[in-house]
Amino acid sequence: MSSSAFAIRLENVTQRFRVIQERPDTVRELFSKFFRHQSSYHDFEAVKNASFEVPQGQMLGLIGRNGSGKSTILKIVSGVYRPTSGTVQVQGSLAPLIELGAGFHHELTGRENILLNGLLMGYSKREMLERQQGIIDFAEIGDFIDSPVKQYSSGMYMRLAFSVATEVDPQILVIDEILAVGDTGFQDKCFERIRKFRQAGKTILMVTHNMLNVAQHCDRAILVDKGSIMADGLPDDVIEVYKSLLALEAVAAH
Amino acid sequence: MIELVRDTYRYRELIWALALKELKIRYKRSVLGFMWALLNPALLMVVLTLVFSTVMRFAIPHYAIFLLSVLLPWTFFSQSLSYAVESIVSNGDLIKKIRVPKLVFPMAAVVSNIINLLLSLIPLALLVPLLRHPFYWTWVYLPVPLLALAIFTLGMTFFFAAANVYYRDVSHILQILLSAWFYLTPIIYPLDLIPARYQWIFKLNPMIYVINGFRLAVYYGMLPKAPSIVASFVCAFLSLFLGFAIFRKYQDNFVFYV
């Protein structure tokens, strides 16, 4: 594989969080801490020395237990976190779907939110206006597009958010467990779109707890446990490792 | 500093959209809507004019104009800061989910308040002939102090927005600071009111130079002297330089504290 063909590359990435037991939220606490000389935090490595490369056009599933560091990896890839050490390279435009409708404002209309959300993701006003109709059509919002999104049903809200994030035609799509929500009709529609993305040779990185999705849709899976990459390979193989990990855990618990 | 100019240009559409959003939300669900941006200062002016022409009489003629010429810029300053100080924290959810340039949030707060300030100048311009105060040609000079004030304010908002991420006390301290600062700045009184030997203390206040041009141009029909103009821009750029340097240094860590 030539080095230019990667979409995402992480090298020895470590993300350390300072977990503060008693965060000095106020100046008073700060002073009292200062004078008592106590350290009230410990460092916690959410991701430890992770390295992997995602070639262009691959659909990669990140699996693992809650708190294993999957979402942190997504946030590092999306640029939300700057890792404590290591390097992250991303080639191509990236649309993060960490949470559907993260940039939505309840008082603004659907149409206003489309523009604002697009701008927040780094697209220009012109690009967003060009794609506006496509976004509205896919979301099946109808006349509600000019109502404040707080009046939307949760389904409409999610459809619009998913539509905005994907209609802008990113080269890389980063998805965090969002497809677990919504009815099956919506999920099918989302997967239909994801399939189209794959056909167009785009890169997809997704976190999910749904092993069926991983087995069916992904080209590759990575198992993350306690911040480290435990397995990396074909989905079926990695799912096996994950299952045995969970089984081991269950035995240990007894 | 080059980075600031470059990013401002790159994200101009986003900053503008966020500023408009702020204004829209401020006036949402009110019958008169955006008209409030004009009505608010207009009604304030009516109150002030009535109070100072009947109840409290000062030796200063057309006191309402004397006051408003610097009260409006001051209101811009204090409102911008009050909005911006929370701008990073209140957008915490967003910052945690989307990679977004942090500087757009304090900037949007300043831009939305600039729009408010400009709109409030309209009723002031109407009030001037109404009170039979001369309408001086020096009004055309206003963009200059406006620029200095905007730059000064922006620098301060960067500092306070960043500091508030780490210590939420900052937003409370800011309110006290603003009210003390208000009375220490010759806004409701002229600088001449201060005994000559104490005036040097007041002249340490950067706000004096920044705000001076407004009163001179609108009320006195004069232009500030060159040293005063230079001082206002030195203060403005010093504020921007320091404020942005601090903001930039810590911005990557905001996400861990919001």
Q: Count up the domains in chain A and report the number.
A: 1
Domain that holds residue A98: 3-253
Q: What whole-number distance in Å separates Cα of residue A54 and Cα of residue A81?
A: 19
Q: Which residues of A touch B100 (CB under 8 A)?
A: 103, 120
pLDDT at B218: 94
Nearest alpha carbon to residue A155 among A187, A114, A121: A187
Looking at per-residue pLDDT, the higher value among A220 and A96 belongs to: A220
What value, to the nearest 5°, has the Cα angle with vertex A241 and ends A239 and A244? 110
CATH number assigned to the domain comprising residue A23: 3.40.50.300
Question: Contacts of residue A125 in chain B, CB cutoff 8 Å?
Answer: 13, 17
Pairwise CB contact (< 8 Å): B98 & A116: no
Residue of B nearest to A75 (CA): B97
Residue A198 has pLDDT above 70, yes or no: yes
Mean pLDDT, residues A2-21 taken together: 82
pLDDT tens by residue, B122-162: 989 988 998 889 999 999 999 999 999 999 999 999 999 99
Domain, as residue range, for B127 = 2-256
Which of helix, strand or coil describes residue A47? Answer: strand
Local confidence band at A1 (pLDDT 50, 70, 90 cut-offs)? very low
Average pLDDT over residues A204-210: 91
* Mutant choice from A33, A78, A120 vs B, greatest count of B C-beta within 10 A: A120
Q: Which of A163-172, A216-225, A240-249 has the lowest mean pLDDT?
A: A163-172
List of residues 6+ apart from A57 with CB closer than 8 A: A7, A198, A201, A202, A203
Q: Which residue has the tokens 């045995």?
A: A244
E strand or H helix that includes residue A148: none
Burial A146-173 (b: 16+ CB within 10 A, else e): eebbeebeeebbbbbbbbbbbbbebbbb
How far does the CA of residue B149 sit from the closest CA of chain A (Å)? 28
Tokens describing residue B104: 């757009």
Q: What are the start-end ranges of the H helices in chain B?
A: 2-10, 12-27, 36-50, 63-85, 87-90, 92-95, 104-130, 143-166, 169-184, 199-202, 206-215, 226-250
Interface of A with B (CB under 8 A): 17-18, 24-28, 30, 75, 78-82, 96, 98-99, 102-103, 105, 107-108, 112, 115-116, 119-121, 124-125
Nearest CA among A62, A63, A93, A65 for reference residue A78: A93
Q: How many domains does chain B have?
A: 1
Mean pLDDT for the stretch of residues A28-36 = 67
pLDDT, position B77: 97
Within chain B, which residues score under 70 in pLDDT? 56-57
* Statement: residue A85 has pLDDT above 90: yes
Give the pLDDT score at A4.
58
Q: What pLDDT does A21 receive? A: 65
Instruction: Calculate the average pLDDT of chain B.
Output: 91
Which of the pair, A183 or A163, is modelled with greater confidence? Answer: A163
Which pLDDT value is given to residue A223? 96
Q: What pLDDT, on the 0 to 100 scale, is given for residue A2?
A: 47
In the 3-class helix/strand/coil scheme, how is A159-191 assigned residue by residue? HHHHHHHHHCCCCEEEEECHHHCCCHHHHHHHH
Q: What per-residue confidence (pLDDT) applies to B15?
A: 95
Q: Which of B94, B169, B255 sits opposite A103 (nearest CB)?
A: B94
pLDDT (0 to 100) of residue B14? 94
> Rounded to an integer, what distance in angstroms lies between the CA atom of residue A228 and that of residue A231?
9
Q: d(Cα B236, Cα B210) in Å, to the nearest integer?
A: 8
Higher pLDDT pick, A41 / B225: B225
Q: What are phi and psi of A204, to 5 degrees?
A: -130, 130
Residue A180's pLDDT band (boundaries 50, 70, 90)?
low
The alpha carbon of B253 is separated from its chain's Cα centroid by a whole number of angstroms, namely: 28
How far apart, in whole angstroms, are the C-alpha atoms of residue B169 and residue A28?
Answer: 9
Chain A interface test: which of B9, B10, B14 (most A C-beta within 10 Å): B14
Do A98 and B97 lie within an 8 Å CB cutoff? yes
